Amino acid sequence: MESRNLPVPQGLAGERVDAALARLLGFSRTFAAEVAEAGGVVVDGVTLGKSDRLRADSWLEVSWQPKEAPSIVPIKVPELTIVHDDDDIVVIDKPVGVAAHPSVGWTGPTVLGALAGAGFRVSTSGASERAGIVHRLDAGTSGLMVVAKSERGYSELKRAFHDREVEKIYHAVVQGHPDPLVGTIDAPIGRHPGSSWKFAVVSDGKSSVTHYETLEAFRGASLLEINLETGRTHQIRVHMAAQRHPCVGDAMYGADPTISARLGLTRQWLHALQLGFRHPATGERVVYRTTYPEDLQHALDVLRNE
């Protein structure tokens, strides 16, 4: 069991307990919520829940049982394609069903495991179970990811993502037809109030901006090109669901299962198509682009034929 006693700084006055612990102690929001739910957060002698708010200048006592970080197991993932490789970065085309890095509760393959299995060495920066990872794609989302191989690559890419200098273009097939056909969704995203493993548009969430353009319209669905200004967890899926246009096949966020069945889909139609940034070594702008995987292309062909 580990514990910390520390004052609540003025800057965290009014923050939720789980959000404050994430900032103060570097916990993930999920783990911070688990600590609070287990009775591990006490302020001035009172045990607080994860959604309680903190008062400045009070005394915070936190106790928790550390979780052992999952190890990186080298594996072979034939479907993972190396798009570009040099001393500083490796750009991959990630298949569906592969997570970015090991995490508690995930037993499937990971990008880091696949790279280790292929003989790649990545940056040692960051937490040991996600070393070299500068951004993530959901396990159910395919497409382009960049992983840092050098410490220079890691620091420069982390800064570029933080400063919103990275171009991230996705294609998504969503239910219905967005109105307007071209637009921007500017709505804060945070933890779903009724589920710790989902996200939602909430008033106290983090600023989240999604730009979209309709490329094709089909019977009951549309193909969108999406440019992310921010990079929140599940951002595209949450924003489109909030507009009542969930990604086709995205059961977690309310997609109609009959549509995905008609298209032969077993996951959300969402693909990270293009990635652009300044190379950490040369400073030159580089752009990488991929194609749709077979299952998404098949679903698109069905829609076009209809």
The set of catalytic residues is 138
What distances in angstroms separate CA 91 from CA 83, 179, 202, 220, 287, one per listed residue?
5, 35, 33, 35, 10
Using an 8 Å Cβ cutoff, are 299 and 264 in contact? yes
Tokens 């940056």, located at residue: 123
Using an 8 Å Cβ cutoff, are 157 and 167 in contact? no
Q: Which tokens hold the place of 188?
A: 């804060």
Strand partners, 226: 170, 212
Alpha helices in 146-277 (DSSP H): 151-162, 235-242, 257-263
Q: Which tokens hold the place of 279?
A: 């190379």
DSSP line for 123-181: ---S-GGGTTB-S---TT-EEEEEEE-SHHHHHHHHHHHHTT-SEEEEEEEEES--SSS
